Amino acid sequence: MLRGPWRQLWPFLLLLLLLLLGGPEPLGASRPWEGTDEPGSAWAWPGFRRLQEQLRAAGALSKRYWTLFSCQVWPDDCDEDEEAAAGPLGWRLPLLGQRYLDLLTTWYCSFKDCCPRGDCRISNNFTGLEWDLNVRLHGQHLVRQLVLRTVRGYLETPQPDKALALSFHGWSGTGKNFVARMLVESLYRDGLMSDCVRMFIATFHFPHPKYVDLYKEQLTGQIRGTQQLCRQTLFIFDEAEKLHPGLLEVLGPHLERRAPEGHRAESPWTIFLFLSNLRGDIINEVVLKLLKAGWSREEITMEHLEPHLQAEIVETIGFSFLTTTWPHLDLPTSSVAPT
């Protein structure tokens, strides 16, 4: 049994052992001394060649171990180039070595602030989001003006008193899912694959009204589990107009300004994003009237559309808790980029 200072050094001894576990070089790798050494020289000595090969393999292995270890402990500082360098290089990480690496990571994280889950990979790249909205999004000036301002303002609030509820409305093909994907990829490095993002499609995840009680239980569990995992969460509901009213009750406590203590959100920042085809006809009707009255498309503001849209949404499905409603206008021919 190790005692005294040796007890604190054993993890580093394990790491040293890992560095000495050499792996074979990639098949077909060239050796600089082959075909050029003279007989009797030190470079031609077989023992020296083996030693040099082992040192080279140990150096490559130690670099790989360090890359894997640093990417687990400091994921924010691990960029894509480092992750690629940690990939297979003609040989695979020994199983025993992986176990030692996991032990070392666990030991380090026992007294250091580590974040092994997706919560570390929150990026909040507002500069990238602004560029996407200005360059890649066409024909939706209302969305371009409001998305960045609303989302950034909410996420930069130190302690928001409720979740943010957003709703994208318009007919199919107007860019609702496109903007939602821009938002996810700007806020999270892993996009929709992030542990902090959950996407639900009403007709796929909640297809049968008779099972609404089961759906409510499952949805509540997924929301709470994700909030406990991440400090910033995003929940997307596609085809939101088809959600059962009972499922909206599950979201209510998170969207009230002063939620009951038992239902208070686990994470400080939670965004609910609803994508809906509801009332695309209302949007088009209002826009058409304004265009006939001499308004240009870019002169149409939220003040023209929101009162009509908000009243219809609340009356139809009870989305009274929405913080912001964004209409997606039908795209004019000039706004459709050629493919």
The band of 159, judged by pLDDT with boundaries at 50, 70 and 90, is confident
Q: Report the C-alpha gap between 326 and 181 in whole angstroms.
A: 16
The pTM score is 0.58
Higher-confidence position of 288 and 177: 177
| pLDDT single digits (tens) 263-320 | 444 568 999 999 887 665 666 676 667 667 766 666 666 666 666 666 555 555 555 4
CATH topology of domain 121-335: Rossmann fold (3.40.50)
Question: Per the structure block, which two tokens stand in for 145?
Answer: 């003006």
- Give me the phi and psi of 275, to 5 degrees please: -110, 125
**Residue 331 per-residue DSSP state:** P
For 277-307, b/e burial (b = at least 16 CB within 10 A) is bbbbebbeebbeebeeeeeeeeebeeebbee
Question: Per the structure block, which two tokens stand in for 26?
Answer: 């990639």
Which of 16-25, 57-66, 152-161, 316-325 shows the highest mean pLDDT? Answer: 152-161
Mean predicted confidence (pLDDT) in 155-168: 87
| pLDDT single digits (tens) 181-234 | 999 999 998 899 898 999 999 999 999 999 999 999 999 999 999 998 899 999
Which of 39-53, 55-69, 141-155, 304-318 shows the highest mean pLDDT? Answer: 141-155
> How is the chain split into domains, by residue range?
5-116, 121-335
Contact predicate 251/321, CB 8 Å: yes
